[in-house]
Amino acid sequence: MAFPAGFGWGASTAAYQVEGGWDADGKGPSVWDTFTHQGGERVFQNQTGDVACGSYTLWEEDLKCIKQLGLTHYRFSLSWSRLLPDGTTGFINQKGIDYYNKIIDDLLTNGVIPIVTLYHFDLPQALEDKGGWLSEAIIESFDKYARFCFSMFGDRVKQWITINEPNILAIMAYDLGVFPPGVPHFGTGGYQAAHNLIKAHARSWHSYDSFFRKEQKGMVSLGIFAGWAEPADTNSVSDQEAAKRAIAFCLDFFAKPIFIDGDYPEVVKSQIAFMSKKQGYPSSRLPKFTEEEKRMIKGTADFFAVQYYTSRLVKYQENKKEVGFLQDVELQVFPDPSWKRLDWVYVVPWGIRKLLKYIKDTYNNPVIYITENGFPQGDPASLDDTQRWEYFRQTFQELFKAMP
């Protein structure tokens, strides 16, 4: 395999997962700090990110790893509450600015391109207390935070991810309640949060476009999680339609409004309306964008950032009365028995090729960044990691096939 000149190789981290220093140097609490400190059955072995990988104090060691790997790109996220402890620009933490300035400057000095994520699930607790992503007020709060970051770091950062995996956040945090704030709103909360996440992303893209792009000449997008959905029975029309719905609810739910026309996919709107009526709701549980909002949302991404780990087989399964985001899709997902399993990740390398082909065909052949990929490991991780390099070898083979 010979990848073309200019092909990027990177690694990705997230602030809460690696930084530690949860209350160091003026940092405010995030929803993950609050959630894990509460402990209980929702938190695995009552573990927290208080220390994590200790990157807040051990950044130089991380940099050595980045250089040793020969990476061309490094993606990391900013801790909103490290920069703005209460989530607003009324209280700016200079120590947080200094920390991220050092990371950015060190990367550039060593020839590594920073890709910076504004928000990776760790909402300042002060904003969650005001309603979080269920409140429309979060849109303006996020835009002000984005403008602050663009102004602080945009002279050197040229590739931005506004929001990491908004589809996962909406489902896990505000529908199922598995992520903080930990309060389920089955069938309603996920859609309301998704609605606000899309509008917040679009607002911040316009802010960059209007006030920063001309001078900084950067690019802005958002990172969407997507697995490939394959019909369990390729001869079954109902399974084929279920697989299409799976992709529409996961990927297209966010990508179509942003890349195509400012609105949700028709199959998503019709399916949720159908299920809502079936369950006795007076109207669809999915909020609607106004015509003005559609115009504001359309075209608010400069590249396509996708995050792929695995795939599933999909089979149609009627849902008669259960209310929830996942139940609305009316399907059953499961792996092929022959697929190797690594925790929740089943090794399906050809899935990434099919996904990339779908994105190319559906979204007018955009520039694509795969901003996450890999598989989970136990703690402590084994150095005899033949499964890891075999996973990547097979994935790279499929990427190579997908390239023109």
Positions annotated as catalytic residues are 165, 372
| Strand, coil or helix: 196 | helix
How many angstroms separate the CA atoms of 283 and 301, rounded?
A: 31
As to burial, measured by CB atoms within 10 angstroms (0-12 exposed, 13-18 middle, 19+ buried), residue 354 is middle
- DSSP code at position 343: T
As to burial, measured by CB atoms within 10 angstroms (0-12 exposed, 13-18 middle, 19+ buried), residue 368 is middle
How many angstroms separate the CA atoms of 234 and 238, rounded?
A: 10
- Which tokens in the block code for residue 125? 């607790």
Cα separation values, 246 from 183, 253, 312, 316, Å: 25, 10, 10, 10
Decide: 97 and 28 in contact? Cβ < 8 Å.
Answer: no
What does the CA dihedral 185, 190, 196, 197 come to, rounded to 10 degrees? Answer: 140
Pairing between β-strand 304-307 and β-strand 368-372 as defined by DSSP bridges? parallel
